[in-house]
A and B are shown apart, each in its own frame.
Chain A
């Protein structure tokens, strides 16, 4: 691929983020009409990706990228095959419609600019996720989608329910992301591949590795949390707290499909093993049934749709894991169909909410005449969702039944699961699309009328797309379904199903599904009551479990903090020094590294005298009964140290130490005139004994380790280097000073900065007037305090 094309793809990948930066300004200028401008960003991206359709349909892949962190061998690289290209087109295409819809839905909202910003950021993250090649990039974008989803769910942050839902989504998907990272690391460790494209040829190695199971479970941990598989499904319905454009985009069409994307992407590499073909259908099937049953009991339009989304995701996972090529084709068709009809239905639900003021299915009715365009879009989408011809959903459902088949007990079970799930979804789809629009007009908070073009354009386009894609199935299969199915299966596949009904088992099953669906639709009220009673009987669910876990964490951390941070400094100090003593002695004894005891050398008289002075100073500090004694004896031990430096060939140190000790005595004297030193150390005897033992142990340990250090051979490379080069390179004869100002100048620069910061901090502390600080309950006027001090 040409270099400038690569540049353009890179631009397209960062374009949503540029749009996110521009959104607040554009919104300030154009108001809600900024949507028209901002929709150009995803529209351009969509256009750019369509240019790859031809090449990818021929079975080619498009790869490119740049080095990101060269030293770690991490690339910013992308890889476009049928799978990622289809996802990229869905994201940018539906994204365009969503941006427009948001402009209508949130018209006049004070934070509309922020909303556009978030949703474009999400778009960029999601797009990066599906085209990412390198593992690290995949992970980074994966977590970015979690974070942007958090921001979007919590958009209405003044409501506690929003905050809870946002946090819940972040915790669940974020933990899943960590699991994914661990899984990717295991995979990279097994195969040595650092990118998805490199991994594709390593499937044999990976499946045979002993750690395959660990890698599989970790990766699925990421995929199942993101795609809301049971028992992690609970965050998705709660995420309906977000504004409807978000629900339509993130929580049906795109983000929740990231887990499905991951499973599909890894299918050629990790699939076709017994574990894969058991775990995926079991979790997927369970999710499908539980999702639809839970959807039955809802009356909120968005929640009904949300639970069917959970169910659809389960169906997709089940199909991907089933392990037949036709099932993979079915998964691909259903994924594309679902993105379109579910996105459309969500936007319809939002439009109803927006125009009538409620989205409770029992409180809306007969608005079809008032909102005809929305009604048409809803019905078209529901037809696709119900799997009726000639819509794309029909193709998907035929393929599902063909793929699962009746070959064995296992596939019969899964087929029945699919039939039941599809029938329930049929019922709910039509409930959403028909109930509000038909029947007698009921009284609603607002008088309904057709929304502006921004509100009906998106659902209508998506719903019509579902029809067109099925009518021109040759084209859609050639450019979308077949390349994507080939990428998922890992071998060339050609999807050929069309809207012309084929007499056979699948058609029969479709008819059965529809019959069941109509039966459910007619008995919806009763089903709802039954489900509600069942759920009340069960009582506990993972959603409530999340609350308990959060509260438990807070309680536990408060409890642990209470123990480890009791707020008493002496306890901290005691613990610290006991740990220090242990750290010194345990390794020394355990590894037999105790120093040998040398004979005491005889020292000249004056050196002994200096040491004696030092010890006298220390003893005097310990026994000081008034501040003057303490200060003077502190000075004495300091001067003794200075003398030691002087005797051992360190005149610079000696001078510095003298000056510092002098200044210390001065400032101590200045401060201590105010600070009472208690006449004696009144620690109780037991405390005293303990402290003395700890201090003695630490002192002995440090002394011994120092002795041991001086008994190993000395590496004088650095010292010799400095001695040989001080004059030659740095033109100085005082080697110590040359090291300070020249060889280690940067170090010194940092150190003088520290000195200066300490000076500033002290100045600030001194200047804060006593009594002004908020700590004191009874505030005194500053003047009075000064007088008291003087």
Chain B
């Protein structure tokens, strides 16, 4: 199962990186969204997988009575999902605002912070 998941993760990463290498900001964002899924799956797989047994202690017992899925990566991923969603939303709005201000969705056209042919900084004191 881990082998298959590792291959899946590889495909997720490859697709997201290909999208992020684009010059179009919206494709980059799609890539970011897929990237966070890929990362989550990586963490999940690295913690080893077990089929269909959630890490929940049965009622009346103090410890799980059989092998369950590893709870630790799940806890890490759960918060990661929510955070990456917030960040994704932020990026989306940022991209949207940049598009509104600059009138382009091409990253080559976004040169406000690093304009082409910038003059030398002042040489005095």
The answer to whether A and B touch in the complex, with CB atoms under 8 Å apart, is yes
Q: Is B79 a contact partner of A751 (Cβ separation < 8 A)? A: yes
Residues facing A in B90-112 (CB within 8 A) are 90, 92-97, 99-102, 105, 107-108, 110-112
Q: List the A side residues contacting B41 at CB < 8 Å.
A: 641, 644
Q: Is A653 a contact partner of B52 (Cβ separation < 8 A)? A: no
Q: Is B30 a contact partner of A621 (Cβ separation < 8 A)? A: yes
- A167 CA to B123 CA, complexed, in Å: 13
CB distance from A529 to the nearest CB of B (A): 31
Q: Is A167 a contact partner of B49 (Cβ separation < 8 A)? A: no
Q: Chain B: how many interface residues by the 8 Å CB criterion? A: 99
CB distance from B62 to the nearest CB of A (A): 5
Chain A 686-700 near chain B by CB (<8 Å), digits 1 or 0: 000001101110111
Q: Is A710 a contact partner of B97 (Cβ separation < 8 A)? A: no
Q: Is A700 a contact partner of B120 (Cβ separation < 8 A)? A: no
B3's contact among A163, A598, A681, A699, by CB below 8 Å, is which? A598
Q: Is A766 a contact partner of B93 (Cβ separation < 8 A)? A: yes
Asked whether any CB of chain B lies closer than 8 Å to the CB of A354, the reply is: no
Asked whether any CB of chain B lies closer than 8 Å to the CB of A667, the reply is: yes
Residues facing B in A718-743 (CB within 8 A) are 718-719, 722-724, 726-728, 733-736, 739-740
Q: Is B68 a contact partner of A723 (Cβ separation < 8 A)? A: yes
Q: Is A649 a contact partner of B51 (Cβ separation < 8 A)? A: yes
Asked whether any CB of chain B lies closer than 8 Å to the CB of A671, the reply is: yes
Q: Is A618 a contact partner of B71 (Cβ separation < 8 A)? A: no
Asked whether any CB of chain B lies closer than 8 Å to the CB of A706, the reply is: yes
B12's contact among A167, A618, A683, A718, by CB below 8 Å, is which? A618
Given contacts A716-B70, A748-B79, contact A681 B15 (CB under 8 A): no
- A755 CA to B112 CA, complexed, in Å: 28
Residues facing A in B54-75 (CB within 8 A) are 54-59, 61-64, 68-72, 74-75
Chain A 155-198 near chain B by CB (<8 Å), digits 1 or 0: 00000100110010000000000000000000000000000000
B110's contact among A569, A663, A677, A681, by CB below 8 Å, is which? A569
CB distance from A782 to the nearest CB of B (A): 13
Asked whether any CB of chain B lies closer than 8 Å to the CB of A770, the reply is: yes
Q: List the A side residues contacting B108 at CB < 8 Å.
A: 568-570
Q: Is B82 a contact partner of A751 (Cβ separation < 8 A)? A: yes
- A644 CA to B123 CA, complexed, in Å: 59
Residues facing B in A608-653 (CB within 8 A) are 611, 614-615, 618, 621-622, 630, 634, 637-638, 641, 644-645, 647-653
A755's contact among B15, B40, B50, B83, by CB below 8 Å, is which? B83
Q: Is B9 a contact partner of A736 (Cβ separation < 8 A)? A: no
B2's contact among A164, A649, A707, by CB below 8 Å, is which? A707
Asked whether any CB of chain B lies closer than 8 Å to the CB of A541, the reply is: no
Q: List the A side residues contacting B27 at CB < 8 Å.
A: 677, 681
Given contacts A551-B123, A663-B85, A694-B17, contact A733 B59 (CB under 8 A): yes
- A638 CA to B30 CA, complexed, in Å: 11
Q: Is B7 a contact partner of A703 (Cβ separation < 8 A)? A: yes
- A137 CA to B53 CA, complexed, in Å: 59
Q: Is A675 a contact partner of B99 (Cβ separation < 8 A)? A: yes
Partner-A contacts on B (CB < 8 A)? 1-15, 17-24, 26-28, 30, 33-34, 37-38, 40-42, 44-59, 61-64, 68-72, 74-75, 77-79, 81-83, 85-90, 92-97, 99-102, 105, 107-108, 110-116, 118, 120-121, 123-125
Partner-B contacts on A (CB < 8 A)? 160, 163-164, 167, 550-551, 554-555, 558, 562, 565-570, 573-574, 577, 598, 600-601, 603, 611, 614-615, 618, 621-622, 630, 634, 637-638, 641, 644-645, 647-653, 656-657, 660, 663-664, 667-668, 671-672, 674-678, 681, 683, 691-692, 694-696, 698-700, 702-704, 706-707, 709-710, 714, 716, 718-719, 722-724, 726-728, 733-736, 739-740, 744, 747-748, 751, 754-755, 758-759, 761-762, 765-766, 768, 770, 773, 775-776
Besides A648-B50, A648-B52, 13 other A-B contacts (C-beta < 8 A): A163-B125, A573-B20, A634-B30, A648-B51, A674-B96, A674-B99, A699-B12, A702-B38, A706-B9, A723-B68, A728-B62, A740-B78, A755-B86
